[in-house]
Amino acid sequence: MTLTRRSFLNGLALAPTLGALPSVARADLNLGTASLTTVSDGQLVLPGSFIFDPMPKSDLSKILTEFAVSPDRLTPECNLALYRDGQNTVLFDVGSGPDFMPTAGTVVDSLAAVGLAPDDITHVIFTHAHPDHIWGLLDEFDEPLFYNATYFMGRKEWDYWWNPETVQSIGEARAAFAVGAKRRMMAIEGAVELFEDGQEILPGVAALSTPGHTPGHMAFELRQGNNAALIVGDAIGNHHVAFRRPDWQSGSDQDGPLAVKSRKMLLDRLAAEHIPVIGFHLPDGGMGRVARDGSSGYQFITA
């Protein structure tokens, strides 16, 4: 069964039943003279079918049981990476804002908890333009919330969502994603810098193309001397099936086979180089390391 608008909205309808937002862990990492922190934007509530529909059900059941994950409802954390090098204060993605889900949109409070306000952010770098990553861009007056920031987005990702044909071709379930992305991108058109794969967009911050989840999805390598970390956005979307069976296509990815290729490349590199990973929907603050599990899969080890 493919993702439909009804199945996705049914997942959203579960969100108000959760009550107060949970306390979500924050993770910290020293990266040479710089620091890397995750700040929470709350969590999503999604139907399991949003991810699991393309997967073989018998094998899937064993993995979900191992990780105590429901096949019917998922509640992934939303963890934004915050990078500070003494000169720049960089936020990777901006969260959901108030218009996507009542369980998300808490980044302003999370920034306040680490002593920052939106006007302290000097740069915003987008991994991609799905709602939980870009809809938090605008304030209640439809003005950019991070008004002092310079914005960065990969050229391919920008061109995809800017294209007026995208809303017609992306499918009914994701049409609102396209409309919402375009509206927010219009608000920063004069303040955005576009970049290519491999480009160092700020000192110590280099882009790494990881398409599939969206056509222009980007990961980022942060490096200070011998210290490095990878911010992977949604290219590695969870700590269970994405690690145990990275070769399985996920219903959350717009191009399943291409997303598999990107995911396996990242996991191979993270396991071989033993460097920290920061994943938007990974648990316990989203920060940890990747290890091989003795077979063809991997495991996520929290920080």
Choose among 72, 71, 17, 74: nearest CA to 43: 74
Mean pLDDT across the chain? 91
Query: E strand or H helix at 201, and its extent?
Result: strand 200-202
Q: Residue 127 in contact with residue 219, Cβ under 8 Å?
A: yes
- Please give the class, per CATH, of domain 5-302: alpha beta
Sequential pLDDT tens for the chain (303 residues): 333 333 344 444 444 434 334 445 577 889 989 999 999 999 999 999 999 999 999 999 999 999 999 999 999 999 999 999 999 999 999 999 998 999 999 999 999 999 999 999 999 999 999 999 999 999 999 999 999 999 999 999 999 999 999 999 999 989 999 999 999 999 999 999 999 999 999 999 999 999 999 999 999 999 999 999 999 999 999 999 999 999 999 999 999 999 999 999 999 999 999 999 999 999 999 999 999 987 779 999 998
Q: How far apart are CA 184 and CA 61, in angstroms?
A: 39
DSSP per position, 96-155: -GGGS-TTB--HHHHHHHTT--GGG--EEE-S--SHHHHGGGB-TTSSBSSTT-EEEEEH
On whether the pTM is more than 0.75, the answer is: yes
Choose among 301, 248, 240: nearest CA to 275: 301
Query: E strand or H helix at 270, and its extent?
Result: helix 256-273
Q: How far apart are CA 180 and CA 254, in angstroms?
A: 17
> Mind listing the pLDDT tens digit for each residue in 264-297?
999 999 999 999 999 999 999 999 999 998 777 9
Q: How many residues does the chain have?
A: 303
Strand order in the sheet with 205-209: 200-202, 205-209, 218-224, 227-233, 277-279, 287-292, 298-302
Choose among 243, 297, 287, 290: nearest CA to 271: 290
Q: Residue 84 in contact with residue 257, Cβ under 8 Å?
A: no
Choose among 29, 60, 35: nearest CA to 286: 29
Q: Residue 208 in contact with residue 167, Cβ under 8 Å?
A: no
User: Using CA of residue 253, residue 139, residue 196, residue 202, what is the dihedral sign?
Assistant: negative
> Mind listing the pLDDT tens digit for each residue in 205-242?
999 999 999 999 999 999 999 999 999 999 999 999 99
Calculate the alpha carbon distances from 118 to 43, 74, 123, 134 in Å.
20, 29, 11, 15
How far, rounded to the nearest angstrom, does the alpha carbon of residue 236 sit from its chain's CA centroid? 9
Identify the DSSP state of 203.
T
